[in-house]
Structure 1
């Protein structure tokens, strides 16, 4: 039957646009992403590059300099993407950290791909925990490939699950192969980013194989979801192309292939049996407790809950965490492995939050949650006050007693409410604990990422670190050069100190000479020597010293009289009796330049 040009039965309902499919959860995820961007992208150049960062950045800069045949490549993917970016945005400190920071923001959005497995609440909580992760923030603000490796690992995991979810749902035998292409791209990115990816990949594969023996399993059966050989071949070729592009800059820089192969060697060298002291074995777990506090506290609650419940994502996350623990011990001097533990840990907390919040509608649950938050705040404030006044009034324990009373009152209240309404007590404990530690970790992430990335008193910071005096040193050199020659880079410089930091920050001076010793007839406008040196110079020079590197903590400044109080004061107020050991240099300026 026809009426004009219309045919009954041929009408199809139009597919809604992407803006029509947006939900409140998507809007909240965007806000979380903005918070992550604030943590990771603001003031990227606030702290000077560390020696390791400076070496990586110097390799990127040297690639575009004429006459340079060999460059240092620590992370081929970082090298390729940053080298391309510098041709557009320049080569400052912030640009050298921009690529890892962007991947650090991107990882916050990846749980959106797992929303069907995690649930809307679980997806948001996982993203929020990734956003305020102190270690994730610090890694994202570091010129290295660690942040990219974490992104690649989570993307690989999410893409495979999305492929399995699409199996049999799109009218094909193997499912939506686009997710396999995404997975292969993630694999290529991980293999060219950081040695951490190997530890995450191997434990992920072992957890996948182990999880198949559980019921219900997070993954589908081999016969039902495994792609055909033709599909594997096409996606493998695509992954190889991406690998070559990232490793060698589209075959422009072939030594990058060797850098990608060296990542496996770096991972294998991290295994060690040296260091039998208890402190060495506890170091990874102390790092976890110091920075990822929510994982060390609420994570334990989630572990016991996962053992009791029988949920696929929770079981898999628990297995992945169990496999990462031996890796932390066998590579205990590689603190980066703690980063890997955050992925399954926050996925597990996301599942826990989904079960706790999904049916939150009882007024008693909300009332108990608010009450717990107030008690947590009361305990926290009194512990902080005690740590503040104990050095001046040792006998004053009022705040300790008040904190203990609040803790006992909270424990008794939880016990009675649990016997009365188990569901309300469970929801209140989970929500209040997560909310409190998310607030705490935001401050911790800002501190570690923006202010303390070069403070060697922090457990995460590797030595040597670059001293805060370096920007002042470089600014002084620029000022003297401008006054003497009319050009910020015109002065002649001779340095007997050879470090990646000085090479990076003095890279634009064409008259820079670096050697092991200073000639007795040296007439350079500026001479840089170690502070312990007593050079014999051919002209009159004026000198002043600057801090260059932070090599550690002075042993004599460390006291063990009140270790718990000292730790609390450092965690809460960033106050420490430990003195930083510095490597200083002397900046010698020829007298006639100063007079001019």
Structure 2
């Protein structure tokens, strides 16, 4: 095997295993650059979702003299406030900190290279860099990515503790846990996994059933937990982040509310969807990561790795909680991506170590055969699941369906023939390269489709009631109308229905005379009105109206298997979409 695949020995030196300036370093640099590009490119292109607008509006009002909000998520409030102070309020500025933290999470496998191995760390970095789910939440003002970044810092702190670097472990661990506890309720699932595994390991120890890294891992972690300075640092970090450096004392209650939100998700059916919906979302976007993660867990459990058992328990508890709650959004499911990617890296490392030397020429030939067959299969699937092609095929549709079913059998037969005539090693190499290549291509394809092409299409299962770009058109019209009426872009007196908060107040924030009211006297004085529907008497009072889409909704993204697979394959079909609108009234 190439030297690149050898297990590192940096743990013997007491330092993380950082690669030298080699081809491997260039690959990491390319992956980091790709991760940053896909997260930061056109960050403000799409309007804020309703949850994003709520957090952003709270920060903007606070900066403009409003009362400190009581319900805003502490870390999101802090990050939006800081971004608005430095760069001005805007959709892109609101998302800067999640995008930066999402890029930083990509480097976690590099810091854990001693555990993952060379190839495993590279594979895990690739999965985290282009994960459709993680990229989506990196481009969203939500607590998912900050929470994962904090938990990643905890894993790094454990690594430092094992290497005997107690001071770094305390600093990184306290900072990471403070960020996690003030950003997302779902971090408690990972903490629960750690406690559960500790109990299971104690039980195994009493039965003289030691795990490979039990003594070293638990001993160092226990020593870290006994450090009073670590707990003091954690308390200080939580207090400062919760209160926005003592500017928002009510943020301590908001941090406590995150625990209540997590407990609420333990109620069966609390998410309002079927129990299988969250797992279907994970399979839709993260098939390769899920498959490799399960394989890595199976391999490492046979080796009795306590660290891998924690990752598996973490991912398992997340998926169980998501399934029980039936959550519509993917925030909870996204928490499983990090442990699954790390386990997937372990699977790739084990695969590379298991592969035997092979003849490159025969590997290339076998790979070409498999690639042609898989490409042919893909074309048949696209024809069968494309409604436009189905209309043209007519009576040939059954033949195409037969080819869709028969091609996997042909691929299996080709594998058996190559195994027998060419050789076992060459065939396994070809299948491994093909599988990893297809998984990587699908990962990048799904990530680009979700985050840059169809980011506000409600037929995407991860997108919940996306805000329509029509909202920005409404703002442009009002600015133009204000210039016409008052020679100032933001001089209009506008009254908006309270139930349009937070989206309409966020996008009309620059209109200083904006009021949230449905009282008749306020409407009578306003030069423009924004309502959720028709209002009796306005048309006879001299107002003219037009309708704008506020958001679009797809109630059943997985309406049936045919439309769901067609959307995954070609982004055609999908569930039925309905608009939610608002009406703008002005006096001509």
Range into which the TM-score falls when normalised by the shorter chain: 0.7 to 0.9
Are residues 269 and 210 of structure 1, via their aligned partners in 2, closer, same or farther at CA, if it must alter by over 3 Å?
same
- CA distance 1:486–1:551, change in 2 (3 Å): same
- Contact map agreement 1:356 1:427 (CA 8 A) in 2: no
SS across alignment from 2:117: helix
Q: Kindly indicate whether residue 254 of structure 2 is the aligned counterpart of residue 259 of structure 1.
A: yes
1:589, distance to aligned residue in structure 2 (A): 1.9
Report the counterpart of residue 187 of structure 1 in structure 2. Answer: 177
Aligned to 2:158: 160
Once the two structures are TM-superposed, the CA of residue 379 in structure 1 deviates from its matched residue by 1.8
Alignment-derived partner of residue 282 in structure 1: 276
Q: Distance in 2 between matches of 1:423 and 1:307?
A: 26
Q: 1:201 aligns with which of 191, 216, 230?
A: 191
1:530 to 522, 529, 532: 532
State the distance in 2 between where 1:380 and 1:318 align: 32
Equivalent residue for 1:340?
335
Distance 1:234 1:435 in 2: 47
Contact (CA 8 Å) 2:357, 2:425: kept in 1 or not? Answer: no
Give 1:242 deviation, angstroms: 1.8
The partner residue of 1:547 within 537, 546, 549 is 549
Q: Using the alignment, how far apart are the partners of 1:483 and 1:525 within structure 2? A: 12
Q: CA separation in 1, counterparts of 2:184 and 2:438? A: 33
Matched, 1:236 2:231: yes
Aligned with 2:437 (options 435, 438, 442): 435
Q: 2: CA distance between counterparts of 1:371 and 1:296?
A: 27
Please identify, of 563-572 and 90-99, the stretch whose mean Cα deviation from structure 2 is larger.
Answer: 563-572
Measure, in 1, the Cα distance between the counterparts of 2:105 and 2:19. 25
Tell me how far 1:102 sits from its aligned partner.
Answer: 0.8
Q: After the TM superposition, which residues 316-335 of structure 1 pair with which residues of structure 2 at under 5 Å, given as runs?
A: 316-333=310-327, 335=330
Provide the TM-score with structure 2 as the length reference.
Answer: 0.86
CA distance in structure 1 between the partners assigned to 2:569 and 2:167 by the alignment: 50
2:457 aligns with 455
Say which of 356, 361, 379 aligns to 2:377. 379
Q: Counterparts of 1:577 and 1:344 in 2: how far apart (Å)?
A: 30
Answering whether residue 241 of structure 2 is matched by residue 246 of structure 1, we say: yes
1:132 offset after TM fit, Å?
Answer: 1.2
Could you tell me how far apart the structure 2 residues matched to 1:41 and 1:281 are?
Answer: 34
Tell me if 1:63 matches 2:58.
Answer: no
The equivalent residue for 2:38 is 39
Matches within 5 A, 1:554-565: 563-565=560-562
- Which is further off, 320-329 or 45-54? 320-329
Q: Which residue of 1 aligns with 2:14?
A: none
5+ residue gaps, structure 2, are 1-16
Counterpart of 1:3 in structure 2 is none
- Inter-partner Cα distance in structure 2 for 1:524 and 1:183: 53
Name which one, 1 or 2, has greater alpha-carbon Rg: 1
Cα offset for 1:513?
Answer: 2.0
Per the alignment, residue 395 of structure 1 pairs with 395
Label 1:161 to 1:215 Cα distance change in 2 as closer, same or farther (>3 A).
farther
Q: Deviations over 1:227-246 (max 9, x none)?
A: 64896111221222222221
Q: Flag the 1:267–1:314 CA change in 2: closer, same or farther, 3 A.
A: closer
**Over the residues paired in the alignment, what is the CA RMSD in angstroms?**
3.0
Shift in Å, 1:538: 7.1
In structure 1, list runs of 5 or more residues that go unmatched.
1-17, 168-174, 592-596
| Residues 111, 234 of structure 1: alpha-carbon distance in 2 compared, 3 angstrom cutoff | same
Given the superposition, is the C-alpha separation of residues 251 and 47 from structure 1 closer, same or farther in structure 2, using an over 3 Å criterion? same
* Alpha-carbon separation, structure 2, partners of 1:525 and 1:325: 51
Question: In structure 2, what is the Cα distance between the partners aligned to 1:19 and 1:274?
Answer: 45
Deviation at 1:378, TM superposition (A): 2.6
- Partner SS for 2:241: helix
SS in 1 for 2:489: coil
Q: Which moved more, 1:71-80 or 1:41-50?
A: 71-80
Q: Secondary structure at the match of 2:582?
A: strand
| Stretch deviating more after TM superposition (508-517 or 214-223) | 214-223
The range that moved more, 445-454 or 140-149, is: 445-454
Q: CA deviation at 1:72?
A: 4.9
How far is 1:122 from its partner? 0.6
C-alpha displacement of 1:319? 3.9
CA distance change for structure 1 residues 72 and 482 in 2, over 3 Å: closer, same or farther?
Answer: farther
Which has the larger displacement, 517-526 or 386-395? 517-526
The answer to whether residue 563 in structure 2 is matched with residue 566 in structure 1 is yes
1:105 pairs with 2:95: no
Q: Is the alpha carbon distance of 1:229 and 1:440 closer, same or farther for their aligned partners in structure 2, counting shifts above 3 Å?
A: closer
Number of equivalences: 558
Bigger share in helix? 2
Deviation per CA, 1:319-350, whole angstroms, max 9, x where unpaired?
44344343233333263221122122111211
Range that drifts further, 107-116 or 197-206: 197-206
1:268 maps onto 2:270 in alignment: no
TM-score by length of 1: 0.85
- Superposed, which structure 2 residues align to 1:469-484 within 5 Å? 469-484=470-485
Question: CA 1:74–1:205 in 2, change beyond 3 Å: closer, same or farther?
Answer: farther
